[in-house]
Amino acid sequence: MREYQEKAVLEEDITEIIKAGQFAPTNRNNQAIEFIVVRDQQTKEKIFEIVGQEFVKEAPVLIIPVSDTTQTKCPVQDLSVASENMFLQATALGLGTVWKALKMEDAEEEEDKIRKLLEIPEQYMVINIIPVGYPKEKPIPHTDKDFKAKKIHHEKW
């Protein structure tokens, strides 16, 4: 979802979403992910200036999951799995989200700026931002029409 209502999101719903992220599997059960929750409008606007896309300043809440790279060899995988869990939990609560990536060509520079802005210690990796809000429109779910059976290879390619 990329358009959100102004309606406030309950702190307990944010906690449930983070719980789903924290309970996600991590390599060797490193549990090295921490979460920054941003509600402050000025901070959201500063994040928007770094990463772009209007919904970053419009969503009521931004969650930034970060992984301690001194504790895991798989920070990207750990963060991705946790993020997907968070998307599913948010959807189950009637909330909308989307994966907001750091721009591939400037990812390191953007990551540094986000770390500085949010005072995240240097060893934590940031790969994405998760906006959370009540969606303006009901998402259209995928159907069997979108399913590409051709992409399945049985036994061999």
| Interface positions with ligand FMN (CB under 6 A) | 2, 53, 98-101
Tokens representing 140 are 């259209």
Dig out the tokens for 129 from the structure: 């931002």
What single DSSP character describes residue 96? B
In the complex with ligand FMN, which residue's Cβ is closer, 40 or 137? 137
Query: What angle do the packed helices 75-92 and 11-22 form, to 10 degrees?
Result: 140
> Which of 139, 155 has the CB closer to ligand FMN?
139
CB of 17 to ligand FMN, least distance (A): 17
Instruction: Give me the least distance between CB of 141 and ligand FMN, in Å please.
Output: 9
- Name the token pair of 138: 């009901």
Closer Cβ to ligand FMN, 60 or 96, answer by number:
96
CB of 101 to ligand FMN, least distance (A): 3
With a CB cutoff of 8 Å and minimum separation 6, the contacts of 64 are 35, 36, 38, 114, 118, 120, 126, 128, 129, 130
Token pair belonging to 106: 């400037």
Task: Report the residue closest to ligand FMN, judged by CB.
Answer: 101
| Least distance (Å) between residue 99 CB and ligand FMN | 4
Of the pair 35, 99, the CB lying nearest ligand FMN is at 99
